[in-house]
Amino acid sequence: MILVCGGLADVVTELVCARLEALNYSYRLLDLGLFPQGYTVAWRWAKGEPGGTLDGPGWKLKLSEVSGVFVRYLGSDGHAPLPEFSAPQTEAVIAESQAGLMALLEDLPCLVVNRAAPSVSNHSKPYQALMVHQAGLQTPPTLVTSDPQAALEFYESNHGEVIFKSLSGVRSVVRKLKPSDLERLPFLRHGAAQFQTYLPGDNVRVHTVGNEVFATRIRSEAVDYRYARRQGHTAEMEPAALPDSVAQACLRLTRQTGLVIAGIDLKQTPEDEWFCFEINPCPGFAYYEQHTGQPISAALADLLKGSIRA
């Protein structure tokens, strides 16, 4: 039995459930927008693996029956209110319940898309850059610093063609460093930032699902196409063909990080050079599937179905 753990308010989880239903693949939903309300998890270690049961609305599942798991953890803002608790108590209850579920899924002896441990690489962009290079992809010239002078010198050496963004896994808007921003560089002493040479060309988002690769070309004048409208621009998407060497490098990167599915952000320059910005362990692929018609969710459903034990 396939187990889906996520919130139905999340468009990716909703799409995965819809695809499983359309393909007539049996599954159970553990709605993390409600969990632990309405659910009971009872498990313990026995003979080297977890055993027990998972009870949901109108169903009961032995852990030994779980053959594949898709999970997208939610923040506290994605959870239904718990009126009987104060705000700090609600946050603690949600964190505690998800931590227990996470511990279970980390050691469940079946396919889990994706386990939490491999996803930790997303918390450090410099660490991810090392993994990107090991996989055979190149990254843009990069400076990570809390030194205002070093940042200024990097800006000048790149003739002002520099972008900056967060070092962590927290989503941030990628922006160009403007002359008016230079007066804020002294604030770097309070926290490092990542600066990169701005690269012209097309963004290409790659989704790897098992051994399959889906590439989407994004044409936009915006520095960060995810916020194109906010910046007064548009973003057009279409399926793209990758050079085999780039596709294989994306698969290597996914495997090296221990992921089953990943979103990899690339840039193809006018000189046909390929650069990699980062790898996302919890990709919002519904957005790209909606705009291109690529069967990403179907590939994921087949992957989960293929893991079912005889």
Looking at the domain assignment, is residue 287 inside a domain?
Answer: no
CA distances, 134 to each of 8, 24, 144 (Å) = 37, 40, 19
Is the same domain home to 175 and 229?
no
Looking at the domain assignment, is residue 289 inside a domain?
Answer: no
What is the full per-residue pLDDT of the chain (310 aa) written as tens digits? 999 999 988 999 999 999 999 999 999 999 999 998 899 999 888 877 888 999 999 999 999 999 999 999 987 678 888 888 888 888 888 889 989 999 999 989 999 999 999 998 888 889 999 999 999 999 999 999 999 999 999 999 999 999 999 887 777 889 999 999 999 999 999 999 999 999 999 999 999 999 999 999 999 888 888 888 888 888 999 999 999 999 999 999 999 999 999 999 999 999 999 999 999 999 999 999 999 999 999 999 999 998 654 3
Is the same domain home to 209 and 192?
no
Residue 8 has what pLDDT? Answer: 87
Q: CA 287, 91, 81: angle at the middle one, nearest 5?
A: 70
Looking at the domain assignment, is residue 189 inside a domain?
Answer: yes
Q: Read off the CATH number of the domain in which 271 is found.
A: 3.30.470.20
Is the same domain home to 223 and 147?
no
Looking at the domain assignment, is residue 268 inside a domain?
Answer: yes
Is the same domain home to 219 and 193?
no
Q: Read off the CATH number of the domain in which 182 is found.
A: 3.30.1490
Is the same domain home to 80 and 177?
no
Is the same domain home to 253 and 129?
yes
Is the same domain home to 8 and 153?
no
Is the same domain home to 193 and 205?
no
Q: Read off the CATH number of the domain in which 77 is found.
A: 3.40.50
Is the same domain home to 130 and 265?
yes
Looking at the domain assignment, is residue 303 inside a domain?
Answer: no
Looking at the domain assignment, is residue 295 inside a domain?
Answer: no
Is the same domain home to 7 and 84?
yes
Is the same domain home to 148 and 22?
no
Looking at the domain assignment, is residue 70 inside a domain?
Answer: yes
Domain count of the chain?
A: 3
Is the same domain home to 124 and 242?
yes
**What's the chain look like in SS3?**
CEEEEECCCCHHHHHHHHHHHHCCCCEEEEECCCCCCCCEEEEEEECCEEEEEEEECCEEEEHHHCCEEEECCCCHHHCCCCCCCCHHHHHHHHHHHHHHHHHHHHHCCCEEECCHHHHHHHHCHHHHHHHHHHCCCECCCEEEECCHHHHHHHHHHCCCCEEEECCCCCCCCCEECCHHHHHHHHHHHHCCEEEEECCCCEEEEEEEECCEEEEEEEEECCCCHHHCCCCCCCEEEEEECCCHHHHHHHHHHHHHCCCCEEEEEEEECCCCCEEEEEEECCCCCHHHHHHHCCCHHHHHHHHHHHCCCC
Residue 79 has what pLDDT? Answer: 84
Residue 131 has what pLDDT? Answer: 96
**Domain limits at 81?**
2-114
Looking at the domain assignment, is residue 173 inside a domain?
Answer: yes
Residue 77 has what pLDDT? Answer: 74
